[in-house]
Amino acid sequence: DSGVTQTPKHLITATGQRVTLRCSPRSGDLSVYWYQQSLDQGLQFLIQYYNGEERAKGNILERFSAQQFPDLHSELNLSSLELGDSALYFCASSNPGQLTDTQYFGPGTRLTVL
């Protein structure tokens, strides 16, 4: 158990809908990272937040957005969902927040778009 929690574990929705994925980092970690893992694209880094502010950006679509709240949990919002958004979404956390730090991954949220 990495100490990173993600909810929900599974999510099934329809095209055009909007969903929110939630991540709670390890106690004391200030940085949260989001990743997408799909058969087509493999594992892609989406975005990093550090202590509430965006720090690094990867291949995140404009339809996707994220934020980190004062209690350090983070949410990833996916809107206007398409079939191709079906994937496993991972959250990771680290402290203090450099990309060279060890990142601890949550178990993931599996999103299925029908």
Strand partners, 45: 35
Minimum gap (Å) between residue 48 Cβ and other proteins: 8
Residue 65 interacts with other proteins (CB under 8 A)? no
Minimum gap (Å) between residue 74 Cβ and other proteins: 15
| C-alpha span between 8 and 80 (Å, rounded) | 19
Give yes or no for a contact between 31 and 49, defined as CB atoms under 8 angstroms apart: yes
Residue 5 interacts with other proteins (CB under 8 A)? no
In terms of Cα–Cα distance, which of 50, 52, 51, 74 is closest to 64?
Answer: 74
Q: Which of 11, 32, 72, 92 binds other proteins (CB under 8 A)?
A: 92
Residue 30 interacts with other proteins (CB under 8 A)? no
Minimum gap (Å) between residue 14 Cβ and other proteins: 25
Residue 43 interacts with other proteins (CB under 8 A)? yes
| C-alpha span between 102 and 100 (Å, rounded) | 7
| C-alpha span between 17 and 85 (Å, rounded) | 11
Q: Which of 10, 42, 62, 71 binds other proteins (CB under 8 A)?
A: 42
| C-alpha span between 114 and 109 (Å, rounded) | 16
Residues binding other proteins (CB under 8 A)? 2, 4, 42-45, 48, 55-58, 90, 92, 98-100, 102-103, 105-108
